[in-house]
Chain A
Amino acid sequence: MRKESDVSILERISARDPGAVEQCLDLYGRLVWSIAKRLLPETLVEDVVQEVFVDIWRSASRFDPGRSSEKTFVAMIARRRVIDRLRRTEKRPATEPLDEVRIPPDDLHLSVETNVDASLAARVLKQLRPKQRDVIQMSIYQGMSHSEIAAKTGLPLGTVKTYILRGLQQVRDLMLSRTGGEEVAP
């Protein structure tokens, strides 16, 4: 019989374990809140955070540890809901200029969560050319649209799309080639 510690939070939510809801909030509240607060106007943050947790509970049975870690799956759910809402609102939060948030490639390992998927993504980011890394950071971190990135950088829109696509493909390929989905122990 599997110990409770071996069963993921999302599996327990799928099984309607009431204790799992609180643990889900404890584990992922910070992650979801941070994503929403960074990308959304303040007036929308609380509502969207609630919606994200509903999405997590409804999607819990779709989690596949063979494809990603649980944290990555939760981050995906949060980003999807936030991006959807961001697209439907005209107001965007003011984000810090890229110069103030750009993470030097050598420091990426310092900001990486103890998560194997994040480690793989950091590896990809480190070996990208600076311009491509900036484009990906503007897209993922600052939530800028492809057109906005093109306007800001002066790059053709097609180049922006290609930079992002290739970055995603490289991370995806590494994630597909990894085994398991276990968190890296601190």
Chain B
Amino acid sequence: MSDRERLLEMATAECTEGLATGESEELRSLLSRQSDLKADEFALAAAALELAMVPHREALPQEIRSRILRTARQSVTGALTENAETAQSGAPSKSNWLPWAIAAGALLFAVLSWWPPQRGPRLPDAATERSQLVRSADDLMDLTWTATQDPSAESASGDVVWSPSRQAGFMRFQGLEVNDPSQSQYQLWIFDSTRDQRYPVDGGVFDIDHAGQTIVPIRARLPVGDAVMFAVTVEKPGGVVVSSRERIVVIAQRDG
């Protein structure tokens, strides 16, 4: 199969049935090597077909609309949703508060990503954002990962940077084992000295899709008062509310 045939096949698959892990990068590489098919052209065509075929009559439930709006507004003003905090002060239940805590963290990160204002057509990538944070945050914590005996961490190294004032940070990995997201995902936990240590703050779920250096933004679901340790575990797809800590792969601990 020629590169062009492969490109057309993958561009078609991307917007209809999805791509397997690693294929997205292959598609990007193929797109960059030829000029007559731009990224998203087929995806826009598929979207137009969607709009042609499907009435889309079912309204977004008001409760969900209100949650998205409330979380977005609070994120813009810098205050995280009260719901996530209130919900976690009781017995956490994944069906009740986790989706909204995830939304709060994700939306806050989306808003933080808007600073400084975007000048070009592309959003900065994680490496650029990490560099910006490192340059500009004067309370930056920079910790080195220590690998455990877990098989996924055999060749793992890297660091984690975190700014308490910005509530933002990035993990950097080299050699952490590639995961199959349909089988397991990595999850970050932030141990906060101001909170019950049994319940570290969920820092987000992520994947490693290649063996080289990977930079992952930290998406803390709740405010982190005083981060003393960061730990990455292996969990089921989608992550968990409370980790069993059976598979801790790397740890980064603050001195003192």
Contact = CB atoms under 8 A, between A and B. Distances in A.
Given A22-B69, A54-B107, A76-B40, A35 B50 contact: yes
B58 A140 contact: no
A12 interface: no
Size bracket of the B interface: 35 or more
Given A62-B122, A172-B44, A121 B99 contact: no
Residue of A33, A53, A141 with highest tally of chain B CB at under 10 A: A53
B54 A34 contact: yes
B52 A83 contact: no
Interface residues of A, number: 75
Interface in A51-68: 51, 53-54, 57-59, 61-62, 64, 67-68
B52 A79 contact: no
B41 interface: yes
A61 to B, nearest CB: 5
B15 A58 contact: no
A171 B49 contact: yes
Contact of A172 (B41, B61, B64, B65): B41
27 contacts: A21-B73, A30-B56, A31-B56, A33-B60, A34-B57, A38-B54, A46-B99, A49-B60, A49-B64, A50-B68, A51-B106, A59-B123, A61-B121, A61-B123, A67-B44, A72-B51, A76-B44, A83-B15, A112-B52, A113-B52, A141-B50, A161-B12, A168-B42, A171-B48, A172-B41, A172-B45, A175-B45
Interface of A: 14, 16, 18, 21-22, 25, 29-35, 37-38, 46-47, 49-51, 53-54, 57-59, 61-62, 64, 67-68, 71-73, 75-76, 79-80, 83-84, 86-88, 90, 103, 108, 111-113, 115, 117-122, 124-125, 136-137, 139-141, 144-146, 161, 164-165, 167-169, 171-172, 175-176
Interface of B: 8-9, 12-13, 15-20, 40-61, 64-65, 67-69, 72-73, 76, 99, 102-103, 106-107, 110, 113-114, 117-118, 121-123, 181-182, 237
